[in-house]
Amino acid sequence: MDWLQTTFQDYFNKDGFIQEYLPFIAESRIAQAILLYLLGFFFAKIIMLFITRIQKHTTKRTSTPIDDHLFEKIKRPIEISILLLSFRLAFARLQIFSDQIPILDSVLLTLAIFYWLRFITNSSHFILHYLSGNNGRIKLIQKHTLPLFDNLAAIIFYGLGLYFVLIAWNINISAWIASAGILGLALSFAAKDTLANLFAGVFILADSPYKLGDYIVLDTGERGEVTHIGIRSTRILTRDDVEITVPNAIMGNTKITNETAGPHKKYRIRIQVSAAYGESVAKVRKALLDVAEQADNIEQQPSPRVRFRTFGDSGLNFELLVWVTEPVLRGRVSDSLNEAVYNKFIENEIEIPYPKRDVYLHQK
């Protein structure tokens, strides 16, 4: 800024065009200051027109609203920066309160930093919201992770803004940075479990092993619907209407069976039943398929099927395989199918075997 001020001073002081044709301006510092500010004002307007022209040609070629937003919001900080610079040159040209120039520089730089910081934070907020919406292609940035990245971006940008403001006021921040480093190290040890859950939550959201509404089964046996995926924990609502909260650090290191994942949400139910030796395999098959055809909440695609699995100790082991629309119906449909199979076997006089033991008594 000093070199620019010196250039203007040399230009006004030298003999030439201004002293010959504009003697009033050449002799009056107030007039020179006003001229400098007006030049800055008109230069700012020219830059705004130039940016608007580029905006019209550029935004037509893209479908994303990000460039429209950036062009529209960047005009204000550029205009303010030019006006602040022209005000600084005009004030310096007056050559009054020369000893206060450093303070004025700090004030003007602080104002410029404020406007640029507002532009950056506003733009980052807009971009993150756009990426988290339906048009976003980044899995890591979703609606439920938006507050995390939004707050993280705000902390980073406001921290940088504070850093530049301190520099503008010639404040030595070396000691502050060292203290912050020691404090951060202490906090990392004190909150290591919280940090572990935080990073695990970010990785879960990025990898997406499950999502809201999925039915999952943990290796510890808990089964339920995922109702909340937070940064610290995941909540599961069991079929007993009991909510289980599991820290993300555990969720990230455990085996999870997602019953809803796959090409569709359909869930296969297996009804295992035995028929006594001597019963017709075809008869048992037909009885089980009749049960599946008459049952409610059974999907016909894929169609129900019967499998003759093994020869058991007491009878022939069969398995009826049917599909339901979603895993939540497993208990209800299994109950109705078990009852229907039992009644069908009685109706068709198919014997369900049970363990039998022959006891021989030996008398001497």
pLDDT of residue 149: 82
Does residue 121 contact residue 77 with C-beta atoms inside 8 Å? no
Contact predicate 195/225, CB 8 Å: no
Is-contact 223 267, C-beta < 8 A?
no
Beta strands 243-247; 305-311: pairing state: unpaired
Q: Which domain holds residue 29?
A: 2-181
CATH number of domain containing 271: 3.30.70.100
Examine the fold and report which residue of 221, 237, 258 is the final residue of a domain before the chain moves on.
258
**What does the pLDDT look like over 76-109, one tens digit per residue?**
999 999 999 999 888 888 877 777 888 999 999 9
Give me the CATH number covering residue 229: 2.30.30.60
pLDDT tens-digit map of 3-16: 555 555 555 555 45
Quote the mean pLDDT of the chain: 85
Which two tokens mark 102?
């450093």
112 and 82 Cβ atoms separated by less than 8 Å: no
Task: Give the pLDDT confidence of 246-297 residue by residue, as tens digits.
Answer: 999 999 888 999 988 878 888 999 999 999 999 999 999 999 999 999 998 8
Percentage of the chain modeled with pLDDT above 90: 45
What's the predicted TM-score (pTM) here?
Answer: 0.62
Count CB-CB contacts under 10 A for residue 55. Answer: 17
Per-residue pLDDT band for 17 (boundaries 50, 70, 90) equals very low
Q: For residues 220 and 326, state if they share a domain.
A: no
Answer yes or no: do 154 and 111 share one domain. yes
Same domain, 254 and 271: no
- Residue 193's pLDDT is 81
CA distances for 214 relative to 63, 133, 208, 265, angstroms: 34, 21, 11, 9
Same domain, yes or no, for 106 and 12?
Answer: yes
Task: State which of 258, 293, 320 marks the end of a domain.
Answer: 258
pLDDT, position 21: 47
Where residue 2 falls among pLDDT bands split at 50, 70, 90?
low
Highest mean pLDDT among 126-135, 196-205, 347-356: 347-356
- Among 223, 258, 293, the domain-final residue is 258
Domains in the chain, number: 3
Asked if 10 and 83 sit in the same domain, the reply is yes
Same domain, 114 and 27: yes
Whether residue 151 sits in one domain with residue 19? yes
156 is a domain residue: yes
